[in-house]
Each structure stands twice: as C-alpha cells, then as structure tokens.
Structure 1
Amino acid sequence: MTDDYVLFQMWGSRRQSLIDGHQFYVEQARNRLLNQFGNMEADADQASKDWLKKASRDFDPDRHDEGVIYDAAEQAGVDFYQLLSDMRDQTYLSVVAGMYHGWDKQLRSWLAGEVHHWYSGSAASQKIWSINAEKIEDLLQSQGWGFSSKPYHRLLDACRLIVNVYKHGEGGSFEDLKMRYPEYLPGTNHGVTSNSPAASYLDHTDMKVSDAQLQSLSDAIVAFWRDVPENTRIKDIQKFPGWFATAVAQDQAKVPGAKCFP
C-alpha cells in the first residue's frame, strides 16, 4: 500500500443518508412523543375535574366536607401533573438513548466495513463491535482529523454519560456527569456545584435533558457526520490504538501473511 491508499472513506451519499436518518428520528420523536407533553397544565386541570366529577356522585352533604373534597380534587391534579412530568423526563431520556445508540451502531458499522476493505482478518472488526466508546474514540483520533478537539466532542461525550446513567443509575458515569457536565443535573442551577456538600444529595433521578439540550445533542451528531473526512489515507494515520494493533497481531498469528495495513 502507498501512503495515498484510502483506509476510511465516507461517500457523500452515505453521509447524507446517515444525517437524514438521524434527523428523521428526532423529528418523529418530537411529533409523536415529546409534543404530547405540551399541555400538561391543562391535562392536570382536567384530571382534577374528572376526580371531582367522580367524587361528586357519592357526595353526601350530611356526611362529607365540601372543602375537603375540593382539596382532594386539587391534590389529584397536582399528583397527575407530577406523574406526567416524570413521564416527560423519562421520555426525553429514552429519545436521547435511542439517538445515541443509533449513532454508535452506525459508527461501528461504518468503521468495521471500511476495515474489511483492506484487512482480511476478523479480530479487529469484532473488537470494533465489542470495545467501549472511549476506545472507539481512540480509533477516530488516530485518523488525524482531530476528533477529540472538535466542539461537538464534548456533547457526544455528555450524551454517552447520560445514556449510561439512564441505563445503570448510580456509578462511575453518574459521578463523571456530575463533575464534567452538571448542566444535566438541574439542581446545580440553584447554587449546587459539583464540589459543594449539597452535591452529595444529587442522584441519578435528578438527571434531566431539556428540549434545548436534546437539540444540542442532536446537532452534535449531525456535526460529527458532516465532519468525517471523505478520505482518510495511510499518511493521515497518526498511530493506530494498541487494542487495534493487538487484534491484528492475533489474526496474523492465526493466518500468516494475512492482508493488513502496513
């Protein structure tokens, strides 16, 4: 292979297809799911009225206190609003999770497919599908286009942590999120910093993604796909990460002379 040999290629049609598919997902998620929470106050008021209507059927002025009934109806509306608010927050997180997992799988599929064009072993592509996101970042960074220094990198990293916390709750990802991206913990907007004693009372249930934040995370994925170079040549590669080189060595031990990168 010469220094000009293309190792990773992003065709314009594939790039646009990836972007279009992602934007379709976000648009439909808004229209079919998230927009359903646009009138929560009215929905809560209706829930209060429905409760009062149901209770009035058995109302006996000789035995029941009218004020207590109205207070209970109001509380029913408050409870309904809180439950609906919790459902909205969970729906936003599920949309973010679907968005991130879709991007992650498409990225791994593209990387593995490109590797198959110039490398005949199987261990490297299997590793691409099994390693964690940080090691995938190492492979992207090795391609020489400065992935980790891009503005969208921070948002993609935050998205990864959000999804991990959404799936697993407490743990290392939550602590990382609290320290590095406290904007997804609304409590930090009220004088609670990641280093303050009050931060110890925050847990995974405090994590939320606003509509504006969802859009920012979505825009980061679009920006990523737009930024992937059309051609990454051998001369662009700085140094493949160790896990990739190890996988290649494993294949070469099994099949001496197997085609691979220089």
Structure 2
Amino acid sequence: MTQRDFTTFYLATIDLPIILEPHEFYVSEARRRLLAQFYDMDREAQKAEKEHLEKSAQYFDPDRDDPADAYERAYHEGVSHWLALNEMHNTVTLALTAGMFHQFDKALREKAVREFSHWLDGHIISPLIWDLGFPRLIELLEWVGLKISGEPFSNTINACRLVINVYKHGDGDAHRELSSKYPEYYPRGNLHDLTLFSSRHEDLKISEAQFVEFADAITAFWKIIPQYCHHSQLGDDPTWLEAEYRKYEKRLTKAKSGSAKKAPWV
C-alpha cells in the first residue's frame, strides 16, 4: 500500500504576521529607545569638554596655571567621554543583537516542535530540537523541504549567530570562524595581508546598520518558509538524525527493553 503523503511542516499565511510582529516591535523599539541615545556622541563629547573647562576655570590661577594646560585637559576629557560612549554604544548594540537572535531562535524552535510533533513523537522530538545546535536545526528544517542554504539571508544569519557566540564566550572557534569569514565585524582587523594584525575577539564591533541587516535577514528567513512541506519532499536523512532520535527515545523508554524500531519517518 502506498503511504499517504502528509504535511511535515505548515506555516499558515495568516500566522506569518503574528510571528513577525514581536520581531519587528523589538527592532523598532530597540532603535528608538536605546540606539537613538547614541546618535549625537560628538555633541555630547563637546559638552563634556566644555563643562570640564568651565569647572576648571573656577580654580584657575593666572599667576600659576597655564591656560593651554586647562584646554588640553578639557580636550582629553571630551575624548575620554566620546570613547566611553562609543564603547557603551557597541556593548548595547551587541546586547540587543543577542536578544534579537535569541528571540528568533526560540520562536523557530517552538514552531519546529509544533510541526514535527504532528508526525513524530513529541516527547522525543521536542527535547531533541531544543538541544540541537543552530546549524543542525537548519539541517533538520532543510531536510523537510525548507530552502535556507544559499538564500541571500543565510550568510547574514550565520554571521549573526557567530557574532553572538563571540560576544558571549570571547575567544574560541566562533571568533576564529567569524574573523576569517566575516572580517567586517572586526574594524581594527582589516589589514588582511599582514598576519601580525590578526583580529582579537575584543575588537568585535557591530554598527546599527549591521544590526538592521541582521534584523532584515531574520524577517527574510520567515518569509521564505513555504506554506506546506510534505513527506514526499523529505531529503536524505541528516547523518546524525537517527542516532540522536534513538538517544532521546531511549531516555523516554529506558525502563523498557526490546529491539530497535524502524525510524518513524521511513
């Protein structure tokens, strides 16, 4: 008997705005409430310089003090203020990027769990999906028919994932991969021909424009998902899938003994 073709992943047209609304709200409010605070750092630095000069004028002694020294100290105060704001701006932008990616990752896993649980054991597939690394999650989605790799947004989302890992963990594999594949996130490390000037994880920097690029890539990801994916569209099983499924199945049925069953999607 021919197996009935069934839906493996479904995204209703009416559900797309519901999924996108929290993301778009996050991005809009992050820019309006937080990033907008850093739009005029030059003016704020000049203000700090002026205030320092006015404060030092109260104690200025023309018989003892050199006016040039007062102006120089005020200048350095302005520079220090600008550098501190710039560092804070980068930290805030990175934190907002991390929050945005976490929101996306969580929503994607929740959707995947709902859809896969319609045709696989939810008690098995749910923890499996939540424990997967993001690259394997993408593999799983491509297996059922989503076209992700090779799309214009794919590299941008991968870069965002690596940026977050470097922001959270510092030096490591993510930093080496990011600095090699996407050196634009290390503005101090753009001298590619001189290995002496290799990027450090501390040099990671995200502009507001790059934050928006990440946000747009997430929107594009959701919009590319077809309304229906069917069992007949399943690709080759990911090499790791059966072993992972069996591992979670054994956790669920550890009190039971018996022979391994055939994979339920076969």
Q: 1:209 to 1:120 in 2, by over 3 A?
A: same
Return the alpha-carbon distance in structure 1 between the equivalents of residues 197 and 137 of structure 2: 31
8 A contact 2:8–2:119 mirrored in 1? yes
Q: 1:60 to 1:86 in 2, by over 3 A?
A: same
Q: Which residue of 1 aligns with 2:194?
A: 196
Return the alpha-carbon distance in structure 2 between the equivalents of residues 121 and 97 of structure 1: 28
Q: 1:61 to 1:251 in 2, by over 3 A?
A: closer
| 1:13-69 Cα distance to aligned partner (Å, 9 max, x none) | 322112221111111110001111111111001111111222222222233222211
Residue 217 of structure 2 is aligned to residue 220 of structure 1: yes
Q: Which residue of 1 aligns with 2:150?
A: 149
Residue 262 of structure 2 is aligned to residue 261 of structure 1: no
Residue 10 of structure 2 is aligned to residue 9 of structure 1: yes
Question: How is 1:75-224 mapped onto 2 (pairs within 5 angstroms)?
Answer: 75-189=76-190, 192-193=191-192, 196-200=194-198, 202-224=199-221
Q: Which residue of 1 aligns with 2:242?
A: 245
Return the alpha-carbon distance in structure 1 between the equivalents of residues 143 and 263 of structure 2: 20
| 1:71-91 Cα distance to aligned partner (Å, 9 max, x none) | 101110011001111111111
| Percent of matched pairs sharing the same residue | 33
Return the alpha-carbon distance in structure 2 between the equivalents of residues 252 and 30 of structure 1: 44
- Structure 2: which 5+ runs fail to align? none
Correspondence for 2:230 among 230, 233, 238: 233
1:179 CA drift (Å): 0.9
The one-letter code sitting in structure 1 at the alignment partner of 2:195 is P
8 A contact 1:251–1:258 mirrored in 2? no
Give the TM-score taking structure 1 as reference length.
0.90
- Say which is worse superposed, 60-69 or 229-238, in terms of deviation: 60-69
1:222 CA drift (Å): 0.5
| 1:97-131 Cα distance to aligned partner (Å, 9 max, x none) | 11111111111111111122222352321011112
The one-letter code sitting in structure 2 at the alignment partner of 1:211 is E
Q: Secondary structure of 2:229's match? A: strand
8 A contact 1:118–1:259 mirrored in 2? no
| 1:147-172 Cα distance to aligned partner (Å, 9 max, x none) | 11211111011000000011111111
The one-letter code sitting in structure 1 at the alignment partner of 2:221 is F
8 A contact 1:119–1:259 mirrored in 2? no
How many residues were matched structurally?
258
8 A contact 1:5–1:233 mirrored in 2? yes
Q: 1:148 to 1:9 in 2, by over 3 A?
A: same
Q: 1:179 to 1:14 in 2, by over 3 A?
A: same
- Say which is worse superposed, 143-152 or 79-88, in terms of deviation: 143-152
8 A contact 1:22–1:99 mirrored in 2? yes
The one-letter code sitting in structure 1 at the alignment partner of 2:82 is Y
Return the alpha-carbon distance in structure 1 between the equivalents of residues 265 and 247 of structure 2: 14
Return the alpha-carbon distance in structure 2 between the equivalents of residues 75 and 251 of structure 1: 60
The one-letter code sitting in structure 2 at the alignment partner of 1:248 is Y
Q: 1:3 to 1:161 in 2, by over 3 A?
A: farther
Return the alpha-carbon distance in structure 2 between the equivalents of residues 168 and 133 of structure 1: 16
Q: Secondary structure of 1:8's match? A: strand
Return the alpha-carbon distance in structure 1 between the equivalents of residues 213 and 63 of structure 2: 58
- Structure 1: which 5+ runs fail to align? none
- Say which is worse superposed, 111-120 or 155-164, in terms of deviation: 111-120
The one-letter code sitting in structure 1 at the alignment partner of 2:40 is N
Return the alpha-carbon distance in structure 2 between the equivalents of residues 150 and 102 of structure 1: 21
8 A contact 2:147–2:225 mirrored in 1? no
Q: 1:259 to 1:135 in 2, by over 3 A?
A: closer
8 A contact 2:124–2:249 mirrored in 1? no
1:260 CA drift (Å): 4.2
